[in-house]
Amino acid sequence: MVGEGILKGLAETARNFFGSYVGKDRLTTVQYPEQREPRIEATRDFPFLVCDGADRQQGMRCVACRICEKECPPKCIFIEKSKDKKPDAFGKPQFYPATFNIDISVCMSCQICVEVCPFDAIKMDVDYDLSTDDRFGGLLLNKQRLAKSNEYYNAIHPTEAAAVDARRAEEQAKLEAKARAAAEAKAAVQAKAAAEASLPQKAPSQPAGGEPQ
């Protein structure tokens, strides 16, 4: 029959059209912002800085190596490295970013900064509701606005965050084991030196005449 395919296509279109008004699985309109779709784990919008511990500034994983700044294609990242070191969340002295800014009006969400970071310090957020009437200051995020907890990272990217946490825990365990081995070796050397020092000294040898040389 001539036009049978067209009629079938029109029928399918009509079914989808009217079904979108009555079928719960077809109701695609979301009354934003009162209603919001669940955030998708694989979504990537703009970067944020991951922090460990309660103090976000002290627990910031970033050590201001500036690799992300150098690799960023649109050059929207600006970092100033600190002159001093502060203890991180694990008590290890580290450099930190005195300034860390990202201009999200320029950022193209390419995720290159995430891929090149050797410290798992920067990840992609799923927060897209960042509109503002301040074109410059409102879209220039400093480290206070960028810093978010590791718990937040686990909430938005649970699969990825679990793998990162497992790898970091394994690396930390290796470092602690290495430090313990070094401490035990040092203690053994010190104990050996102390034992040798406590041994009695040998008396000087005397000649046949009986008087010491």
Q: Give me the DSSP letters along the chain.
A: -TTHHHHHHHHHHHHHHHHHHH-GGG-----TTTS-PPPPTT---SEEEEE-SS-TTTTB------HHHHH-TT--EEEEE-SS-EE-TTS-EE--EEEEEEETTT-----HHHHH-TTS-EEE--------S-SSGGGEE-HHHHEEEHHHHHHHSHHHHHHHHHHHHHHHHHHHHHHHHHHHHHHHHHHHHHHHHHSPPPPPP--TTSS--
Cα–Cα distance measured from residue 77 to residue 70, given in angstroms and rounded to the nearest whole number: 8
CB-CB contact of 44 with 104 (8 Å):
no
Distances (CA, A) of 183 to 92, 151, 173, 175, 189: 17, 33, 15, 12, 10
Residue range 176-188: average pLDDT? 91
Residue 103 confidence (pLDDT): 96
- Position 211 scores a pLDDT of 57
How do residues 145-169 score in pLDDT, each as one tens digit? 999 999 999 999 999 999 999 999 9
Topology given in CATH for the domain delimited by 47-157:
Alpha-Beta Plaits (3.30.70)
* Weakest-pLDDT range from 27-31, 132-136, 183-187, 192-196: 27-31
C-alpha 100/C-alpha 54 separation (Å) is 20
Cis bond upstream, residue 207 (ω within 30)? no
The rounded distance, in Å, linking the Cα atoms of 187 and 176 is 16
Q: 124 forms bridges with which residues in the sheet? A: 47
CA distance 188 to 194: 10
d(C-alpha 205, C-alpha 139), whole Å: 87
Q: Report pLDDT digits (tens) over 110-151.
A: 999 999 999 999 999 998 888 888 888 889 999 999 999 999
| pTM for the full predicted model | 0.74
Q: What is the mean pLDDT of the chain?
A: 88
The strand pairing partners of 100, in sequence order, are 79
**Lowest-confidence range among 34-38, 104-108, 115-119?**
34-38
Statement: residue 206 has pLDDT above 70: no
pLDDT for res 160: 94
Residue closest to 151 by CA, chosen among 55, 51, 58 = 51
The residue ranges of every structural domain in the chain are 47-157
Average pLDDT (164-190) is 91
